[in-house]
Amino acid sequence: MAKVKIEDFAKDLELDILYDGESKVIDIVSSSVNRPGLQLAGFFDYFAAERLQVLGKVEFTYLAQALDEAQRKSALERLMSEEIPAIIISRSQDSLKDLIIEVASKYKRPVFISKLVTTKLIHKCVMYADRVLAPSITRHGVFMDVYGVGILLVGESGIGKSETALELIKRGHRLVADDAVEIERTSDEQLVGKAPLSVRHFMEIRGVGIIDVRQMYGVGSVLNEKTLHMQIEMEAWDPVKVYDRLGISEELGTILGVKIPRLTIPVRPGRNLAIIIEVAARNYRLKKMGYNAALTLTEQLIKNEEDVV
C-alpha cells in the first residue's frame, strides 16, 4: 500500500480537486481501476472497493438520465459508503458536481475531475499506481546516462565515483543521481533509478564540497530519472586478482529480482575511467544490436587456425 498526498495525487495526474476528503492522503493498494457502472445499478457482488473509481461518460449518463433525483443520490450514497480510495470524473463532466460533492463530504471520499477521456484517464491512473506501488531500494553509488545507457557506478567510498561522473558530465553525459540512488522495479524486467528529491542534481566532490550540476553545467547535464541498464563496480587494482580481458562471458547482477549486466573495473593511477565507461556503454549497445566483438574475434581466430591446418 502507498499513501499519497491529495495535492501530489492531483498534480501527478493533472486533476482538479472537487473535494479533498479531509484526510489529506489517498491509500493506493491496487494498480487496477474500477468503473462502478454495475454498482450504481445496485450490484455490489465482487465489488473491488480498494481500487480507484472512475466515473466515465456511461456512468454519468446513467446517473443523469436513467435515475431520478432521489435514486441518483441513493446510488451515490451506496457507492461512497464503501471504503473506496477516491472517485475520479472524466471528460470534465460537472453537471452533477454539487450532488457528488455533497455525498462525498458525508462519507469523506476524495473526488477529482479530469479533462481526459475515460480510456486515457484509466491508462494514466494504472501507470501512476504501478509506479507508486513499485518495489524500491536505495543504493549507494552514482547513476549516469552515458550514450543513452543507464549506468550505476558502485564501489567503496573514496574510490572516485563522483570524480569519474564529473569527467563524464564534462564530456557531455548526464547525471541522474550522486551518492544515493533510488531504484524502482517498474516491471518484471525493468529498473528505473532517480535521486531523492532533496539532493537531486547535487554532487559532493571531496576537497571542493557540494556543487549544483544543473546550475554549473546547464539543464542538459542532468536527468530526473533513467532506466537502469548496467552496473559497473569500481575497485582498487588488485595485482593478484585475475580480471576479465575478453568479455566473452557476461556477468550478471541482481537488483530487486531483475538481472542486469555487471562489470568490474579496476582503478589505479593513469587509467582514464571516463573513457573506459564510455566504451562499456557503446559496447553494451552493440551487444544489444547483436554484435559481440569478443565472439567475433574468437570465431576469426578459430577460422584462421582451421585454414592453416
Active site residue 161: yes
Pairing of strands 87-89, 111-113: parallel
Active site residue 179: yes
Cell of 281: 556503454
Q: How far is CA 5 from CA 28, 52, 95, in A?
A: 11, 15, 27
Catalytic residue, from 68, 188, 241, 245: name it.
245
Report the candidate in 38, 34, 40, 33 with the shortest Cα–Cα distance to residue 64. 40
Total length of the chain: 309
Return the sign of the alpha-carbon dihedral for residues 168, 171, 176, 177. positive
Catalytic residue, from 161, 194, 200, 201: name it.
161
Report the candidate in 64, 67, 47, 60 with the shortest Cα–Cα distance to residue 121. 60
Three-state SS for 225?
strand
Residue 126 and residue 114: Cα distance in Å, rounded? 15
Return the sign of the alpha-carbon dihedral for residues 107, 112, 118, 122. negative
Catalytic residue, from 57, 140, 282, 288: name it.
140
The 10 Å Cβ neighbour count of residue 270 is: 4
Catalytic residue, from 12, 97, 131, 179: name it.
179
Cell 501507470 maps to which residue?
Answer: 127
Active site residue 206: no
Three-state SS for 148?
coil
Active site residue 109: no
The 10 Å Cβ neighbour count of residue 13 is: 19
Report the candidate in 71, 127, 81 with the shortest Cα–Cα distance to residue 104. 81
Please list the residues that pair with 175 across neighbouring strands: 144, 222
Residues designated catalytic: 140, 161, 179, 245
